[in-house]
Amino acid sequence: MITTKLPQVIEQFLDKADQRLAAHPELRKLFRNCFPNTLETTTKRLEDGTTFVFTGDIPAMWLRDSTEQVRHYIPFAKEDSELQDIMEGLIARQMFYINIDPYTNAFNETANDRHYRATDECDLNPWMWERKYELDSLCFPVQLLYEYWQTTGRTSMFDDACYQALSSIVQVIQTEQHHMEKSPYRFVRQTELETETLQNDGRGLPVNYTGMSWSGFRPSDDANLFGYNIPSNMFAVVILGHIREIAEDIYKDSRLAARANKLRKEIDYGIRAYGIYNHPVYGQIYAYETDGFGNYCLMDDAGTPGLMSIPYIGYVTADDPIYQNTRWFALSFDNPFYFEGKFAKGIGSPHTPGGYVWHMALAMQAITSTDDEEIKALIDTLIATDAGTGYMHEGFHPDNPADFSRPWFAWSNSLFAALICKAMDKGLV
């Protein structure tokens, strides 16, 4: 763990939040711990001016996690130079990593040759902690770049390395539209767990062309059952729109803008044509995965992007009728990873023991809810299930919150903090 002095703008906000939450002492303690957790414990400024943000109890930086760990700080960066340095340093670090290898999900601070499994068959190099290809890992850095730009108006992030990374993202997403024919990627892990390796000699099960883009692994780092993960493709539609705008407005590159826009339309068409399932109980719902051959994986996972988080990633609004049907499904026992217990009910993941509910899933359910009473009830559940630690965790047993995974998981703390910020804005706490 590292200890970092907080930027003044964050200290001032926390003081205001202490006053705002004075009538809710348990919530005030949780928020005071969780909101600055990334800045205080997992953020490291490097000599080259970039920022390394590791995930918590694992000493590696995920492209996805590092974005989600800092996203709730973006509104505070407009007027604070110290926070700008941290955020722009992280963006530069993310682009540096993508330019090393756009198929890698998690990286080391230095080229120290440390790996989660050194025996993985996946062309590891010394920078890579793990080389699981996850489509969403290419989306999150673009989201951070775009939202930071839109919020602050700053453009110093848009250098040659950023342009190269954005071009690589478009190229990889396009290549993986034809995974079986064109992709160089394979991943084999010697393990008995099916969720940790890809079938078919590391290439995954066969997929049919749909216009969507293939992904080897889910946002939970578990292997896809079928190669087209629908929430990740939805996220790709959103960020390809961002790349088109950046290419036009910043780089004045009409060719890159046109490539991104064409790809965005093809993926969106594929989602509409192949990613919607006619369920006998819930009506039209978004599937979690498909292979384009008519096979579907009907579930939701606690990781983002998932079906619950579709409005959060910006693909459709929360009142979209297919999303509402999908949400109804995801919060039912027809979702094989929905669990209920004495203290909580919500979505878990094959990534953690059977029956565990995830704090991130509860926070996301609240963030995407349009029902104030549901939001307040979920906040109460989150407060009641921290096991007295003052922090959020990964998964926990809903009958015994003291039985939990990952005591130091900054992403979960950040998402909880984002929820409470939203609730304060709405006057719910």
pLDDT tens, position by position, 285-296: 999 999 999 999
How far apart CA 238 and CA 183 sit, in angstroms, is 23
Positive or negative: CA dihedral 217, 221, 223, 228: negative
Find the mean pLDDT for residues 52-60.
96
pLDDT for residue 1: 58
**Is the link from the previous residue into 305 a cis peptide, with omega within 30 of 0?**
yes
- Burial class for 425, CB neighbours closer than 10 Å (0-12, 13-18, 19+): exposed
Tokens of 217: 């692994």
Q: 165 is in which domain, residue-wise? A: 8-425
- In this structure, is the dihedral angle defined by the CA atoms of residues 209, 212, 214 and 219, taken in order, positive or negative? negative
Give CA–CA dist 46/60, Å, rounded: 14
Tell me, yes or no, whether 280 lies in a domain: yes
Q: Is residue 3 part of a domain?
A: no
Q: Is residue 411 part of a domain?
A: yes
Determine the pLDDT at residue 192: 87
Domain assignment present for residue 1? The answer is: no
Residue 4 pLDDT level (bands cut at 50, 70, 90): low
Reference 411, options 41, 28, 21; nearest CA is: 41
Cα separations in angstroms, 287 against 184, 214, 349? 27, 15, 16
Q: What is the pLDDT, as a whole number, of residue 2?
A: 61
Q: How confident is the model at residue 194 (pLDDT cuts 50, 70, 90)?
A: confident
User: pLDDT tens digits, residue range 169-184?
Assistant: 999 999 999 999 999 9
The mean pLDDT of 53-80, rounded to a whole number, is 97
Residue pLDDT, tens place only, 400-421? 999 999 999 999 999 999 999 9
E-assigned strand segments in 46-139 = 51-53, 61-62, 106-107, 128-130
Q: What is the mean pLDDT of residues 353-377?
A: 97
Parallel, antiparallel, or unpaired: how do β-strands 51-53 and 296-297 relate? unpaired
Domain count along the chain: 1
Q: In which band, very low, low, confident or very high, does the pLDDT at 5 lie, cut at 50, 70 and 90?
A: confident
State the pLDDT at residue 166.
99
Q: Looking at residue 223, which CATH number applies to its domain?
A: 1.50.10.10
- Residue 160: inside a domain: yes
The arithmetic mean of pLDDT across residues 351-368, rounded, is: 96
Q: Does 285 reside within a domain?
A: yes
Residue-wise pLDDT tens digits, 113-156 = 999 999 999 999 999 999 999 999 999 999 999 999 999 999 99
Query: Which pLDDT score, from 0 to 100, does residue 234 have?
Result: 99
pTM: 0.97
Instruction: Match 């078919």 to its residue by tokens.
Output: 200
303-326: per-residue pLDDT in tens?
Answer: 999 999 999 999 999 999 999 999
User: Does residue 2 lie within any of the structural domains?
Assistant: no
